[in-house]
């Protein structure tokens, strides 16, 4: 019985060896494995390439967004500065107008004083009293 089992085992092993030889031996398995590995490598490289392309696209988009943001910011600042400068100009204008008005009023007051002094020559009060009494006008 042991001999029969041993013979069977040997026969089975020989059959397997024959099958392997017919298929092309152990080499075929390694070739397929090698091919699979190469395919995986190729896929990995493709993925890496795709990733780099995607990242480049993303970078471009981000750059564009950043530039647009900067542009908007600059325009906002410009608008702000223009409004501020306009306001400042208006304020300056008003100040100048007020100052010129003050100057004009000062000049007018001074002229009046001078006129009053020169016309009366110190007799201003007497004249006014006389005119009041007689009811005459200047």
For residue 24, the 8-state DSSP code is T
Among residues 128, 105, 104, the alpha carbon closest in space to that of 116 is found at 128
Is the pTM above the cut of 0.75?
A: no
pLDDT digits (tens, 9 = 90+) for 8-36: 888 998 888 887 777 665 555 566 777 78
Indicate the SS3 state at residue 26: coil
Decide if 27 is inside a domain.
no
Q: Annotate 45-82 with b (16+ C-beta within 10 A) or e (fewer).
A: eeeeeeeeeeeeeeeeeeeeeeeeeeeeeeeeeeeeee
pLDDT, one tens digit per residue, over 86-127 is 999 999 999 999 999 999 999 999 999 888 887 765 555 555
Q: Is residue 7 part of a domain?
A: no
Q: How many domains does the chain have?
A: 1
Tell me, yes or no, whether 56 lies in a domain: yes
Q: What is the pLDDT of residue 66?
A: 96
Inter-residue contact 138 to 131 (CB < 8 Å) = yes
Q: Is the model's pLDDT at 138 over the cut of 50? A: no
What is the per-residue pLDDT across 40-79, written as a single tens digit (0 to 9) for each? 888 888 888 788 888 888 999 999 999 999 999 998 888 8
106 falls within a domain: yes
Residue 137 falls within a domain, yes or no?
A: no
Domain of 75 in residue numbering reads as 38-115
């Amino acid at each position: 019985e042991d001999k029969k089992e041993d013979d069977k085992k040997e026969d089975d092993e020989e059959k397997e060896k024959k099958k392997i030889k017919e298929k092309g031996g152990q080499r075929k398995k390694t070739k397929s494995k090698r091919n699979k590995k190469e395919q995986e490598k190729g896929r990995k490289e493709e993925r890496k390439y795709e990733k780099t392309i995607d990242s480049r696209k993303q970078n471009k988009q981000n750059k564009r967004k950043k530039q647009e943001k900067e542009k908007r910011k600059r325009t906002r600042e410009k608008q702000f500065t223009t409004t501020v400068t306009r306001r400042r100009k208006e304020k300056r204008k008003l100040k100048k107008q007020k100052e010129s008005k003050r100057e004009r009023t000062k000049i007018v007051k001074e002229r009046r004083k001078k006129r009053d002094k020169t016309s009366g020559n110190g007799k201003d009060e007497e004249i006014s009293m006389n005119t009041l009494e007689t009811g005459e006008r200047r």
